[in-house]
Structures are given as C-alpha cells and as structure tokens.
Structure 1
Amino acid sequence: MKLISAISTLARGALVAAGLALGLSAAQAQEKVTIQIDGAAVPYYLPMFVADHYGYFEEAGLEVEFLYANAADILNNIAAGNVQFGFPNGDAVISARANGLPVKVIHSTYQRGIGAVLFKNASGIETPADLEGKKVAVTSYGSPNYIQLQVMMAQAGKSVDDVNVEIVGTGAILDALKADQVDAIVFSMLRYYALQAEGVDVGMIASDDYLPSKGNVLVTSEAYLGSNPEQVKGFITALDKALRHIVDGDVATEVAMAIKEYSPTFAGQEELVTEIIEEVFVKTLWQSEDTTANGFGYGNLESWQTTIDTALEYEAIPEKFDAADLVVEKPSEL
C-alpha cells in the first residue's frame, strides 16, 4: 500500500509539474510589446482599443502596452529600440526617414491626411483662391499644414505670399477662428465637426485633395522588422481584424466602450465622436479604393512619393528618398 501511495504521489507531482510547464509555455507565448501613440488617449484611436479589448492582440500572441508621446519622440524611440511599434503622423515619419532614422511604415492605416482649411461660411471662402488677402492661421511655419497651404495656393495659380499668414498656437487656433481674429485656419478636419457641434457655421477644404498625405500610420524599426517578423505580422493581423470589426459592426457601441475604458476624458461626447468615426474614419481614412483592392493599410507608393517630393520641394526635408525604402506596400504579405 505504501508503494502504491508513493507511486500515486509521484504521479500527482508529475501532473502538477506538467501543468506548471504548460502554464509557463502559455505565458511565454504572449510577447510583451509597446506601442507609442501620437498625442493622448483619444477615442479616435479606436482600432487599437478594439484590438486590445476583444483580445485580437492576445490571439496574435501579443501583450500590448499603450504609451503616448509626440511624433518626434515616438520616432526617436522606435529607431533606438526603446519601443517596438509607433503610431505617429505620416508627415513626421517622412521627416524622420529623410534625417536618417531607420524607421519603416508597415501599415498605412490612414489612407489620407486629416489637414483642412476651416472657415466660417459667412467669409465667402469656397476655394483656395478665395484665401487671397485673407488672414489664415497655421500653428507654425514648419508644420505640415503650412506646406499644405503653400501647395493649395500654388495650384490655384497664386502664392502663399498672397495670404496674410498668422502663427497661432494649437490651443488658441480654434478660438481665433471663432472670434473672427482670422478668416481661416489650416488645421485638423476633425475640428470641423466639433465646431459644427458648437453651432459655428463652418466650411472646409480638405488639404488632401491638393496634396496627398497620410495621417497616423503604424511604424517599427528596420531592425525589429528584420528580427521579429512574427510579432510584426501578428500586430498587423490584430489591427486589421479590429478595423473590420468596426467597419462591419456598430460604431456607437465601440465608441462607448473606448471612451469608458481607454479615454474617459471624452465622456459625454459619444455622439459627436461616433459621427466623426462614421463620417471621416470609416468612409475616407481607413478605407479607400486601394484598401478595397489590397486590404487595410495598403501603402500606395506613388502617393507616398508625391508627399516626399513635395516636402523636399518646400524644404521640409533635407533630401529625397524612395518611398519604397520607407513604406511596406502590402502589409498582408509581410
């Protein structure tokens, strides 16, 4: 009996050890990675939050931590290997690459830029040519929005010198328009909806109709892409699954979830955010003719090259480079 008991004890011990080993393997299967996102925790980063909330990252073998910073810091951290993934604005990525940082766009998440000229409809502005002689605010002469203004005016057969450009800080630029201190601002198209919600009768000219650009895109370093292809592929797969979940699902439900769990400072703005997600992100940012043919995140190299060449023309970057060196054209084929 003692022998049988001893054997049973050993058997139980072996089973426990095997269970612990299996548990350890499961834990090891979840690779911890960090993504640094441009700005702050806002509900417009909905695909990231959906991928996390519904376990799409976990299904891909990833445990993802969200951090927030400005685009320049994100790209420096990516290049240095301090974080594995970043989600900055495409204009900043072009600048980083032109200045020698070994960053790679692995998913052109936003198919368009979100810059726009915003103005009160009472101003009589309808086209870029109508900005001649008007006071137009930008946040800085080095901002992508200033380049967009230059290109718009050039395509209208005029010059940015025909506009009375004023520099107004990010925190004050909307108030400058509302108070009629300026006739127009070149800023984010998302603010068009916020102004409308406040009862301001505003119009909008999308910058992307004149200069193709990209909003937020998923980036990593060349080194991480080369040494961790499965993690990169897993992140992209989870992001694509989240985008499909939102596009085919109930946007209002997902917005409510994201505000409650990830961006509580937007509590009470669920209706406005839902409208913006449905009208801007679903219809024009996350999806395009290119994504219909090639899947989410498709990197149109011709479009990227146009933006790169324009940045060089207006001396926003020091030298030209090939878009193919920066952008993965078909993320699904990584």
Structure 2
Amino acid sequence: MKSKCFRIIIVLLTLFLWLTACQADQPVVDEPFADDPSAEEVINIRLPMGFVADPQYAPFYVAQERGYFANAGFVVEFDYSFETDGVALVGANELPFAIVSGEQVLLARAQNIPVVYIMEWFQKFPIAVVSKAESDIFSPEDLHGRSVGLPGFFGASYVGYLGLLAANDLQPEDVNASDIGFNQVESLLADQAEAVVGYANNEPVQLAGQGEAVNVILVSDYIDMVANGIITNETIIAENPKLAERFVRAVLRGLADTLADPDAAFEISKNYVEGLEDGRKPVLEASLPMWQAETLGLTELASWENTQQVLLDAALMDEPVADLTAVFTNDFVLANNE
C-alpha cells in the first residue's frame, strides 16, 4: 500500500514539474484588470492602425503578446484596412481609440469632431525628404528649383513637407513638387524625381536595402510637429476616464519593453506580420529614436502650435481651433508615471 501511494505521489510530482516548465515558456498574463481591480468588464475593441501590418507597430504587438492589453481589460483587434476612418469613428464614439497623426486631430477639431489626443507615440515627426547621394541635396535650401515627388497633396507626408519648407523660408512654388502616389522608391530609382517625401523609417530603409546610397533630410531636425499617437473622444474622457488610462498604460508598457529590448520585440512582431523576415529589422531600428523621450508619451503645446500654424499657412485650416489645449491631454500619461 505504501509503495502504491509513493508511486502516485511521484507521478503527481512529475506532472506538476512538467506543467510548471510549460508555463515558464509562456508570456506572463495576469488576470484581467490586475492593474485596476475597479474595472467592471473585459471589452473587445478594434484599433485602427492607419497602415499595413508592420514592425513599426512592435510596441502594440508586445503589449498584446505579453498580456498588457489583457491585464488592462481589453481584447484588441488590429485593424489595418485603409477604408477605416479612425478619426470619424472615434469622434462618433463608435470606437474608443485609434492611432492618428497630430495634423489629422487638428483638422478634425476644426470640423467640431470631438477627438482628443491622449498619448504621443512618435516624439519626432517621422517624415523625411530622401534623395540619391549623387544629387547633392543635403539641406532644405538645396530643394530650391528641384523636382520632389510626394505620395499626394494630403496627409502627414504633405504636412511634414510643408512644415520643412516653412521652417526654412521656402515657399511651395520654390520647389517643383508632383504627385507620384505611393511609389517613392521606384520613382527615385528611375530618376523620375530628384527627391521624394516619405517616412524616415520606411523609404530610406528600402533604398539602403537595395544598395542605393541616399541623403535624408529629417523634418524633425527643423521643426517640432505632432506625429502619430493615440486618440479617444470627449465622451470617454468625461464618462469613463479609467478606460483611457488603462489603454495608455498598456501601450506605454509595450513601448518601454520595445525600447529596452528591440530584438525581442522584433521576434514578437513575427507573430503579427505575415512573412516578416530579418531583413525588415532596420524598419524597427530606424523607428526607435523617434519614440524615445525622458517621459514616454508626453505631448507639448508648442508642437501643436507649430503644427496648427503649418496647416493655417497652407490654407488647410480656415482658422485656429478655439482652444488648442482642449485638443490634447497629458493626464493619462502622467497618471501612469506617478
């Protein structure tokens, strides 16, 4: 009898050790609302990303993989469809959050769409002017009289380009700009334009990967504008601010982890970006400096003033928003840094 009991104990102990070893390989996921026991229910949300699945979204993939969204009470679906108008859906309170660039927030507020920017993900405006090294375009002044291709006369690329010109006393008519669609790499390689406007963590990386030496003029080196971040709406801030606080917390944790260990973040990204290969790792590496800050997520009034002025000068806005400080808040970022 003693021998039989002893064998049962050994089997149970072996099973326990096996289960413990299996769990050690899994990401640590606390119970929902482990960070906020006062929350009432887990909610499913669709998060408009504004672009295709890409390693630049590593902070969000890390937050998903390591359970930070789950801990905060969210089941998150990443939405990459271009048809999704994140600003309109969040403004109408049909979705709680979206990833949006700062100029889109200002344009929405000018149309009385009640969106609010609650966390600045990109601390540096990610737009750049890219040219072949042989073109001798080293500074904004060198763009005078040159041909520049843009993906369109709209969006962050266009606004960043206008901000770069304005910061260097250049007028749009000083440059021969044309709409080339989203074909910046092909257009530059085929010499259809002497320079192209794109994202600093995209087109230069692609060109370098093809062996093309390039010059890169970063908009952020000349003007501080508001880039990509998280938006919510006035209803959520007024009626359920804890929802926004928890979401910001999850994103900040994913962002901090990505900055601390980019290699691990890139490996996690492979679970979310189909066919992602190591050759795309420079996209993440080029993104890291644009996210860094002494306090992650903070946004500054001066950045909003600069962005608004660019929009006004380009006649993309008829008049300033009534209260620029109502367009954004740092409250949720600061609440997660106490």
Q: Same fold (TM over 0.5)?
A: yes
Q: Deviations over 1:42-91 (max 9, x none)?
A: 22111111111100111112222222244971101101122111012222
Structural mapping, 1:151-230, within 5 Å: 151-170=163-182, 172-190=183-201, 191-230=203-242
Determine if contact 1:299/1:330 at 8 Å carries over to the other structure: no
Structure 1 residue aligned with 2:92, among 73, 80, 97? 80
Determine if contact 1:137/1:184 at 8 Å carries over to the other structure: yes
Letter paired with 2:325: A
1:26, CA displacement in angstroms?
Answer: 12
User: Unpaired runs of 5+ in structure 2?
Assistant: 1-31
Letter paired with 2:288: V
Structure 1 residue aligned with 2:284, among 252, 277, 286? 277
Structure 1 residue aligned with 2:291, among 276, 286, 290? 286
- In the other structure, the counterpart of 1:264 is 274
- Give me the whole-angstrom Cα distance separating, in 2, the residues matched to 1:213 and 1:150: 11
Q: Does 1:315 align with 2:311?
A: no
- In the other structure, the counterpart of 1:133 is 145
- Give me the whole-angstrom Cα distance separating, in 1, the residues matched to 2:165 and 2:242: 45
Determine if contact 1:71/1:89 at 8 Å carries over to the other structure: no
Q: Deviations over 1:110-166 (max 9, x none)?
A: 111111100001001111111122111112233443343344334444432122111
**Superposition RMSD in Å:** 2.3
- In the other structure, the counterpart of 1:15 is none
- Give me the whole-angstrom Cα distance separating, in 2, the residues matched to 1:26 and 1:158: 54
- Give me the whole-angstrom Cα distance separating, in 2, the residues matched to 1:227 and 1:150: 38
Determine if contact 2:128/2:217 at 8 Å carries over to the other structure: yes
- Give me the whole-angstrom Cα distance separating, in 2, the residues matched to 1:119 and 1:205: 9
> Compared with structure 1, are the counterparts of its residues 119 and 71 closer, same or farther at alpha carbon in structure 2 (3 Å cutoff)?
farther
Determine if contact 2:117/2:231 at 8 Å carries over to the other structure: yes
Determine if contact 1:301/1:329 at 8 Å carries over to the other structure: no
Q: Deviations over 1:174-205 (max 9, x none)?
A: 21101111100111112111110110111100
- In the other structure, the counterpart of 2:298 is 298
Letter paired with 2:315: E
Determine if contact 1:111/1:214 at 8 Å carries over to the other structure: yes
SS in 1 for 2:47: strand
Determine if contact 2:63/2:254 at 8 Å carries over to the other structure: yes
151-160 or 232-241, which moves further after superposition?
151-160
Determine if contact 2:58/2:268 at 8 Å carries over to the other structure: no
Determine if contact 2:125/2:160 at 8 Å carries over to the other structure: no
**Larger % of helix: which?**
1
SS in 2 for 1:88: strand
- Give me the whole-angstrom Cα distance separating, in 2, the residues matched to 1:203 and 1:175: 16
Determine if contact 2:116/2:231 at 8 Å carries over to the other structure: yes
Letter paired with 1:211: I
- Give me the whole-angstrom Cα distance separating, in 2, the residues matched to 1:240 and 1:318: 35
User: Unpaired runs of 5+ in structure 1?
Assistant: 1-22
- In the other structure, the counterpart of 2:7 is none
Q: Hey, which bits of structure 1, 4+ residues long, moved more than 4 A?
A: 25-28
- Give me the whole-angstrom Cα distance separating, in 2, the residues matched to 1:94 and 1:103: 9
1:330, CA displacement in angstroms?
Answer: 4.2
SS in 1 for 2:215: strand
181-190 or 34-43, which moves further after superposition?
34-43
- Give me the whole-angstrom Cα distance separating, in 2, the residues matched to 1:300 and 1:93: 14
> Compared with structure 1, are the counterparts of its residues 258 and 150 closer, same or farther at alpha carbon in structure 2 (3 Å cutoff)?
closer
Give aligned-pair identity as a percent: 26
Given the two structures, how large is their TM-score scaled by the length of structure 1?
A: 0.82
Letter paired with 2:62: V
- Give me the whole-angstrom Cα distance separating, in 2, the residues matched to 1:166 and 1:241: 41
> Compared with structure 1, are the counterparts of its residues 181 and 225 closer, same or farther at alpha carbon in structure 2 (3 Å cutoff)?
same
Determine if contact 1:297/1:330 at 8 Å carries over to the other structure: no
Determine if contact 2:164/2:222 at 8 Å carries over to the other structure: yes
